[in-house]
Amino acid sequence: MFDKLLIANRGAIACRILRTLNELNVGGVAVYSEADAASLHLQQAAQAISLGEGPASSTYLVVEKILAAARDSGAQAIHPGYGFLSENAAFAEACEAAGIAFVGPTPEQLRVFGLKHTARALAREQGVPMLEGTDLLPDLEAALLAGEEVGYPVMLKSTAGGGGIGMRVCRSADELRDAFDAVKRLGQNNFSDSGVFIEKYIQRARHLEVQVFGDGQGEVIALGVRDCSVQRRNQKVLEETPAPNLPSGMADALCAAAVQLAKAVSYRSAGTVEFVYDSEAQRFYFLEVNTRLQVEHGVTEQVWGVDLVRWMIELAAGDLPPLADLIAGLKPSGHAIQARLYAEDPGRDFQPCPGLLTAVQFPPTDGKALRIDTWVEAGCEIPPWFDPMIAKLIAWAPTREQASAGLDRALADSLLYGVECNRDYLRQIIKDAPFASGSPWTRCLEGLQYRAQTLEVLSAGTQTSVQDYPGRLGYWAVGVPPSGPMDDRALRLGNTLLGNPEGAAALEITMSGPTLRFNTDAVVSVTGAPLPIHLGGVEQPMDTSLFVAAGSTLSLGTVGGAGARSYLCLRGGVNVPDYLGSKSTFTLGQFGGHGGRALRAGDVLHIAELEDGSHGESLPVELRTDLPAVRSIRVIYGPHGAPEYFTPAYIETFFATDWEVHFNSSRTGVRLIGPKPEWVRESGGEAGLHPSNIHDNPYAIGAVDFTGDMPVILGPDGPSLGGFVCPVTVIEADLWQLGQLKAGDKVRFLPVDIATAR
């Protein structure tokens, strides 16, 4: 067995290979782009080597860098995983020339099967059923002639590559004419080969594939049939084995054809022979061969109880027992289904969603009923340069129905926040008729209308953040402020109006509000400082529950009169993960809420599915925000008053003054402009040079803190400890007023006793 093996890949497959290497006591060497520096596979590897900055073209696809990493680490073998260099014959040859074992097929086999037209030629020689089609087409004229001969619709295909790239259905000569140059360009740009050919297109085709494994000496085994028909734009979404609802004997016939084709070249290592299956005619046709480990290999492993990666490594090391011994007594058990979890937004045409994962949680796995292959944890960045797959969830059970239910539960119990993902889309597919009935076809998802429980931020406003009440309690002693709404009264009233718990997460809007597009029905209310509200261009009232239909745009304008903050509450609340027990955003700490920051244009927020659409209720007039010209805020006197720190005359002045709010005010604190304090002492002594200085003293939210000669009312994002005197503290009942203070407002403090405060 090898001492060290290098994985020339990233993500979930790198973690998967490392798991097997650790079981074999083989040192795993990981390579990585700097964009993947937080990937779990680097933690699991015995050694990690950087390939530098940038996308695959300057990292994972650079043969010289991979080979240099293998030489420098002393690795005796390279496992290419899937994608990247896994089917690159020149790379396999370069490994062999360097004296490094390539864990995969031979270079010759990679070449024969690497181009679809040469694979078709071999399949034709072996008598494997073929779709009507052509060899490589020299030009458009030849393609148009072939289209007429084969009969429309046809599939125009790039001969190189995979993953659905370079495939176009053409239903007429005009569509073929439009697609020809584009498909050639895709092949050239993605696989350095512009060759194209035509195949007959089957309208309701299933995509079936057979897992094969060969010893390179002529022996080949097949491990059942996978169904990979659930595809989006020719890319697989769900995969399962055994393939459901096949006629008796069809699986055996598929396996026999795959083994025959692989034996023709004395196939070595793991591979997949793919077929198109015509459900109406109950016939199968050769499609292509993937000369590598497939993304969906895990469903085969779960049903057959094998480790294909282990077999590949042992074969490359010369330690694999004869295939006859491996399969003696081996038989499939139960059913397995895999879902591919991607960082992409189904609600925006599946655009990739790179970014920071702020929360990651998967359900516990047991290795059999549920297996999860992933490379992420909270704090991982999904880079923009690579395939955005986050994880593969594989559910196994004795029956297909049980496996399907188990996969749905696993997806429901998975939490990924910070980027959009296709989790809810996968759950809708599982419940949709084509998959649920066991009769999917390759284009069945075209009829699925995705239902997104989301709203999109078209414009974010000045400072819009997620807050909940009472915020993040219990951590202020260690420097983590509570955050939460600055005007908790407005948020709590808005939630109560909607029938929510009073503390449900809502959007706090500072001065200027966002514009939001709703992808689902919702009932909302806007409370706090009055601002213009327009729903679909029609003005709406404050302090009233409003029905927002899916597809509508809600625009919140700028606070025009008194006040600074408004609150948009939604029935069911805003779904963001808890951080230290709260959904509130703490922007200075960069945690909580949506990504630990204020909202930005392009953000997507998830909201609860609307079960009660009733609306039209309003807050009583006496409960609506009313802000006089001079705000009277009640306070408790102390702890640092006269005569220890201030003169008695100044304390009288303090209470008699209409203080002006300074422009430099925020959630951290509200600064005030007014008469300069009269200090009893000349300095803070050992605490500092200024008489406002004291030794560290615990603060309270609402404490009026003299930082030098300027008082600051500490806000919910302020410090918990400091070295300044605090002559008064705002009572709890009036803390909401802090959220409605803006530059130029006037404030007068009114001292009350504890009984009044309570």
- Contacting residues for 74 by C-beta, under 8 A, at least 6 apart: 3, 4
d(CA 607, CA 519): 10
Name the nearest CA neighbour of 406 among 415, 396, 398.
396
- Residue 203 has what pLDDT? 84
pLDDT of residue 672 exceeding 80:
yes
* Rounded Cα gap, residues 720 and 484, in angstroms: 15
- Read off the tokens for 297: 């290999």
Return the pLDDT at 161.
Answer: 65
Which tokens in the block code for residue 442?
């390759």
Q: What does DSSP assign to residue 676?
A: P
H/E stretch holding 339 reads: strand 335-342
Residues 548 and 313: their CA atoms lie apart, in Å, by: 57
- What φ, ψ does residue 474 adopt, rounded to 5°? 95, 0
Cβ neighbours around 571 below 10 Å, total = 26
Give the pLDDT score at 696.
Answer: 85
Give the Cα separation of 268 and 214 in Å (integer): 5
**Beta strand pairing call for 47-50 and 27-32:** parallel
- Nearest of 305, 229, 318, 225 to residue 272 by alpha carbon: 225
pLDDT at residue 162 tops 70: no
Q: Report the alpha-carbon distance of residue 711 to residue 669 in Å, rounded.
A: 10
Listing DSSP states for 603-653 in one string gives: -EEEEPPPS------B--GGGS----SEEEEEEEE-SS-TTTTB-HHHHHH
Beta pairing partners, 30: 7, 48
pLDDT higher than threshold 80 for residue 699: yes
pLDDT tens digits along 84-125: 999 999 999 999 999 999 999 999 999 999 887 889 899 999
pLDDT tens per residue, range 266-280? 999 999 999 999 998
Token pair recorded at residue 395: 């559910």
Q: Residues 516-568: pLDDT tens digits?
A: 999 999 999 999 999 999 999 999 999 999 999 999 999 999 998 899 999 99
Inform me whether the pLDDT recorded for 164 exceeds 80: no
pLDDT of residue 234: 86
Closest CA to 196 of 142, 156, 145: 156
| Residue 36 banded pLDDT, cuts 50, 70, 90 | very high
pLDDT for the residue numbered 22: 96
| Chain segment 211-246, per-residue pLDDT in tens | 999 999 999 999 999 999 999 988 999 999 999 999
Percent of the chain with pLDDT over 90: 91
How far is C-alpha 725 from the chain's CA centre? 47
DSSP character at residue 594: T
Distance of CA 208 to the CA centre of its chain: 29
Q: Which residues pair with 271 in a beta bridge?
A: 212
Question: How far is residue 396 from each of residues 300, 337, 403, 407, measured CA to CA in Å?
Answer: 10, 7, 5, 8
Return the structure tokens found at 594: 């949506």
Q: What is the pLDDT of residues 57-67, one digit of tens each?
A: 999 999 999 99
Three-state DSSP class for 602?
Answer: coil
The per-residue DSSP string of 197-249 comes to: EEEEPPTTEEEEEEEEEEESSS-EEEEEEEEEEEEETTEEEEEEESPSSPPTT
For the segment 127-158, what is each residue's pLDDT rounded down to a tens digit?
999 988 888 999 999 999 999 999 999 999 98
The model's pLDDT over 365-384, given as tens digits with 9 standing for 90+, comes to 988 999 999 999 999 999 99
Q: What are phi and psi of 285, to 5 degrees?
A: -140, 140
Confidence of residue 163 (pLDDT cuts 50, 70, 90): low
What's the whole-number mean pLDDT along residues 496-513?
97
Phi, psi of 459 (to 5 degrees): -140, 145
Residue with more model confidence, 342 or 698 = 342
Report the distance separating Cα 725 and Cα 687, nearest Å: 11
- The encoded tokens of residue 745 equal 């407002």
Mean pLDDT over 287-293 rounds to 95
Q: How confident is the model at residue 686 (pLDDT cuts 50, 70, 90)?
A: confident
Please say whether the beta carbons of 204 and 279 come within 8 A. yes
Strands 506-510 and 515-518: unpaired
Q: What is the pTM of this model?
A: 0.88
How far apart, in whole angstroms, are the C-alpha atoms of residue 573 and residue 595?
Answer: 17
Give the CA-trace dihedral at 292, 296, 299, 304, to 10 degrees.
-10
Q: How many CB atoms lie within 10 A of CB 561?
A: 8
Checking 693-700 for CB contacts under 8 A at 24+ apart, the result is 693/723, 693/724, 694/640, 694/723, 694/724, 694/725, 695/723, 696/721, 696/722, 696/723, 697/721, 697/722, 697/723, 697/724, 697/726, 698/477, 699/726, 700/726, 700/729
List the Cα angle 593/595/597 in 5-degree steps: 75
DSSP per-residue string spanning 164-199: TTTEEEESSHHHHHHHHHHHHHHHHHHHS---EEEE
For strands 630-637 and 604-607, give the pairing. unpaired
**What is the per-residue pLDDT for 153?**
92
pLDDT tens-digit readout, 597-653: 999 999 999 999 999 999 999 999 999 988 999 999 999 999 999 999 999 999 999
Count of other CB atoms within 10 angstroms of residue 623: 15
Q: Which residue shows structure tokens 């997949």?
A: 272
> 290: which 2 tokens?
């993937």
Please determine, for residue 476, whether its predicted confidence score (pLDDT) is greater than 90: no
Cα separation of 521 and 576, whole Å? 19
Question: How many CB atoms neighbour CB 178 within 10 A?
Answer: 12
Q: How far is CA 23 from the centre of its chain?
A: 30
d(CA 484, CA 177): 60
**CB-based contacts of 749, cutoff 8 Å, min separation 6:** 633, 634, 635, 654, 655, 659, 704, 728
Q: How far apart are CA 149 and CA 137, in angstroms?
A: 13
Mean pLDDT of the chain: 95
Interval 700-710 mean pLDDT: 95
Q: In this structure, are residues 608 and 455 in contact, taking their beta carbons and an 8 Å threshold?
A: no
